[in-house]
Copies of this chain bind each other. A is one copy, B any other.
Amino acid sequence: GAGTDNDLYINQAIVFIEDAIQYRSINHRVDSKSLWLYRWYYSRTCQWILSLTITIILALAFIEEPSSLTVTSDVRYRLPAWNPPCGLTESIELLCFLVFVLDVSVKSYLIGWKEFWKNKWLMAYILTLIVSLADWIVSLSFFCKESVRIRRILRPFFLLQNSSMMKKTLKSINSTLPEMASVVLLLAVHLSLFTMFAMLLFARTKDNQQDKEWVVYFRNLPDSLTSLLVLLTTANNPDVMIPAYSKNRAYSIFFILFTVLGNLFLMNLLTAIIYNQFRGYLLKSVQSSLFRRRLGIRAAFEVLSSLKETPASAQQCCVSVGALVQVLQKAEMDSRCKQAIMRSLKMCSCDHLSAAQFQKLFEELDKDAIKQHPPSPEYQSHFMQKMQFAFGHPYFGYLGNVVALANIISICVVLVMDADKQLSERDDFFLGAINCFFILYYLLEMLLKILAMGLKRYLSYPSNRFDGLLTVILLILEIATFAVYGFPHPGWRPDFMGLLSLWDMVRLVNMLIVFRFLRIIPNMKFMALVVTTLLDLVKNLRAFAGILLVVFYAFAITGIMLFKGAAVPLGNTSKQFFILNFLIQAPFSIKKVVVLYFKEKNVISWCSAHFQAEFIYCLLYALSVHLICRWAKIYFVAWWLISSVIWVNLFVALLLENFIHKWDRRCQRESLSDIEYQRTVELMFRDVLEEPTEEELMEKLHQHPHLQLCR
């Protein structure tokens, strides 16, 4: 009947508006049951469970057999890591798989059969699940003794498919690949031509004293290629040229030419190309989000306009205000926006809304949330007003910064004086006394500020929250110290022992004081700009970081599997060392690892220099790696290319993009600096974005696979 129809339309409108708010696609089933399922699936609980499942399945690698996390990485002191019994991690895995099966079926059902066949991500999801489950069964039937576990490498896929941002970014990276491949090809040509030159130049001679260069670096094709590839990472520069250079200085020309061409030109060209490709990336992604939002709102308008209560006489399509209010009350959205829309609705005297009016109402969603700080309390007493003026004044804040600086300098002086002292010679009296004074000042500053601004206003500034929290922690620590060790007095010895030694307590207090010094950031314009840029960047970078994590995970697991056999003599310690070496050696130092594993010789000298005690362990490990050197080479070169070359360049491109936008807008904003915006990427680009036209929206709506519009 008309009533159930109307209910359906209302529900559809609710879901479409929620889609618009969350920038989701509206191409899903729209019958009553599906709508209920859809809202349930996208409810916070469900999504939270899904995220948790993904986290758990990824975290399993830390407790599973070949990798074992212990506090120290030193083989001598390490306790054997806990090995979970067979079946424990497997049953957790099964639970996770079941959640994923549920997830994929709901998703597939909701988008419908036709759409399912077009969606490659969903198909890949199902395939991954099937392979994983099969591998799981194999695993159990071998009682966890099987050597290869394919499903581990597939795990990061679950993270990938769950984030639309990451999928979008991946698509974008994918479209950059041809250009990147060209430069990498160019690099390869560069490398191979120079390798041939080098082999001809540094050939074997009759005099053994004269061909050191040949012996060490250019003995054969793989050696020469490796030497020059490592030179491209600058890791063996200038060692690689020293023997030739000491024979004849002119040989250095070859190496300089190679490095300038390869490192300065071609590598930076890669940066330029990636930046060039990514210049429009942010804008494009924000533009498509905007389109999704407008489409969702328009769809809501269309379904609401087909409600039966709409007067048939009205020629033009329109929506009654009552229906909209009903929808708004049921839809989940930011309460501030909801109130603002309700207010506008009341102000609008008309009974029916046209499409344009409807769209305009929801523009509230795009607006900045202007943060208004609560007002300061109004004091009656003249004295209090003067106090308020004095302690609410920015200069009082600056004074606080100066005091914090003084505190840091005093700590620094004590550190320099005590640097070489034995622990038993030290006396914490001086530092304890001045820190006590400074912490009292911080407390006083906080209280006076609260007095001047009122608690609510005080807490509404993030810098005050940071400041206040640290002050309170410092106070508690100080009181605890005094309670245990008494007030500072000469001979207040750092080696008194309690739960934490006095020395540890004092160090902790000092660290917190150094950390608290960061409160000066908002007071320095350039620093504030840099910090906000970095924060923005972190927001935009989440997708990239996710993709890096995916690649990283896959690489680490592959590494464990590849180099398992080579590490037999030492049990699982070296595998352990391996995966964690990766973790601590983020992209920027990977070239060192590359060199390390390339040249057995270097490994030995590195081992002897840095692991005096663990020397034999390190050496054995290095030799075992050397045995499978070919594989290791390819593996490390791939990792270097992906993490160090491509990812760092992507990062630089994003940073450039963000920074230049920020910088351009800085002048315009400076006048508005009093008002704090909660800036999002969408807002940064607002004046450049194009509104989608009516035709585009309607065309897209008519292509909807499940929604039949009456018009």
A interface residues with partner B (beta carbon < 8 Å): 69-74, 179, 182-183, 186, 193, 196-197, 199-201, 203-206, 219-221, 234, 237-239, 241-242, 245-250, 252, 255-256, 259-260, 263-265, 268-269, 271-273, 275-276, 279, 408, 411-412, 415-416, 419-423, 495, 503, 507, 510-511, 514, 517-518, 526-527, 530, 533-534, 537, 580-581, 583-586, 588-589, 592, 605, 609-611, 614, 648, 651-652, 655-656, 659-660, 663
Q: 7 nearest interchain CB pairs?
A: A74-B246, A220-B419, A272-B659, A237-B589, A182-B526, A252-B584, A200-B507
CA distance A537 to B206 in the complex (A): 43
Which residues from B are CB-within-8-Å of A72?
Answer: 246-249
A206 touches B423 (CB 8 A): yes
Give which listed residue, B260, B423, B580, contacts A204 with CB less than 8 A: B423
B659 touches A196 (CB 8 A): no
Tell me whether A73 and B656 are in contact in the complex, defined as CB-CB below 8 angstroms, given that A415-B200, A420-B219 are known contacts.
no
Give which listed residue, B197, B255, B511, B585, contacts A238 with CB less than 8 A: B585
18 example contacts (A-B, Cβ-Cβ < 8 A) are as follows A71-B249, A72-B247, A179-B526, A196-B408, A203-B503, A206-B423, A221-B419, A237-B585, A237-B589, A252-B584, A256-B584, A260-B586, A265-B655, A268-B655, A269-B655, A273-B659, A605-B605, A656-B656
Closest to A416 in B: B221
B527 touches A186 (CB 8 A): yes
Tell me whether A242 and B592 are in contact in the complex, defined as CB-CB below 8 angstroms, given that A268-B652, A507-B200, A663-B276 are known contacts.
no
Which residues from B are CB-within-8-Å of A238?
Answer: 581, 584-585, 589, 592
Tell me whether A272 and B527 are in contact in the complex, defined as CB-CB below 8 angstroms, given that A71-B248, A73-B249, A246-B73 are known contacts.
no
Q: 16 new A-B pairs (CB below 8 Å) besides A193-B514, A196-B408?
A: A71-B250, A193-B517, A196-B411, A196-B510, A200-B507, A204-B421, A204-B422, A219-B420, A237-B588, A237-B592, A242-B611, A245-B584, A255-B584, A259-B589, A263-B588, A264-B588
CB proximity of A517 to chain B, nearest CB, Å: 7
CA distance A61 to B222 in the complex (A): 41
Which residues from B are CB-within-8-Å of A408?
Answer: 196
CA distance A292 to B320 in the complex (A): 68
B205 touches A651 (CB 8 A): no
Tell me whether A586 and B415 are in contact in the complex, defined as CB-CB below 8 angstroms, given that A186-B527, A249-B73, A526-B182 are known contacts.
no
CA distance A533 to B266 in the complex (A): 11
Which residues from B are CB-within-8-Å of A73?
Answer: 245-246, 249
Tell me whether A234 and B588 are in contact in the complex, defined as CB-CB below 8 angstroms, given that A197-B514, A419-B220 are known contacts.
yes
Which residues from B are CB-within-8-Å of A248?
Answer: 71-72
Which residues from B are CB-within-8-Å of A234?
Answer: 588-589
Which residues from B are CB-within-8-Å of A589?
Answer: 234, 237-238, 259
> Majority SS of interface residues in chain A?
helix
Which residues from B are CB-within-8-Å of A588?
Answer: 234, 237, 259, 263-264
CA distance A530 to B204 in the complex (A): 35
CA distance A656 to B197 in the complex (A): 30
Which residues from B are CB-within-8-Å of A652?
Answer: 268, 271-272
Candidate in A264, A419, A585, A651 with the most chain B CB atoms within 10 angstroms: A419
A415 touches B605 (CB 8 A): no
CA distance A510 to B588 in the complex (A): 38
B275 touches A656 (CB 8 A): yes
CA distance A340 to B503 in the complex (A): 87
CA distance A352 to B245 in the complex (A): 68
CB proximity of A213 to chain B, nearest CB, Å: 12
B186 touches A530 (CB 8 A): yes
Which residues from B are CB-within-8-Å of A656?
Answer: 271-272, 275, 656
A249 touches B580 (CB 8 A): yes
CA distance A7 to B580 in the complex (A): 84
CA distance A241 to B655 in the complex (A): 28
Closest to A605 in B: B609
Closest to A73 in B: B246
Closest to A580 in B: B249
CA distance A422 to B204 in the complex (A): 7
A272 touches B660 (CB 8 A): yes
Tell me whether A655 and B256 are in contact in the complex, defined as CB-CB below 8 angstroms, given that A246-B73, A247-B74, A584-B241 are known contacts.
no
CA distance A405 to B136 in the complex (A): 50
Which residues from B are CB-within-8-Å of A518?
Answer: 193
B269 touches A530 (CB 8 A): yes
A651 touches B264 (CB 8 A): yes
Which residues from B are CB-within-8-Å of A526?
Answer: 179, 182, 186
CB proximity of A591 to chain B, nearest CB, Å: 8
Which residues from B are CB-within-8-Å of A255?
Answer: 584
Which residues from B are CB-within-8-Å of A237?
Answer: 585, 588-589, 592
Give which listed residue, B204, B268, B419, B648, contacts A264 with CB less than 8 A: B648
CA distance A73 to B241 in the complex (A): 12
Which residues from B are CB-within-8-Å of A179?
Answer: 526
Give which listed residue, B201, B276, B586, contacts A256 with CB less than 8 A: B586
CA distance A419 to B220 in the complex (A): 5
Tell me whether A511 and B592 are in contact in the complex, defined as CB-CB below 8 angstroms, given that A272-B655, A586-B259, A659-B272 are known contacts.
no
Which residues from B are CB-within-8-Å of A580?
Answer: 249
CB proximity of A68 to chain B, nearest CB, Å: 12
Closest to A193 in B: B514
CA distance A487 to B273 in the complex (A): 50
B511 touches A197 (CB 8 A): yes
Closest to A223 in B: B419
CB proximity of A160 to chain B, nearest CB, Å: 23
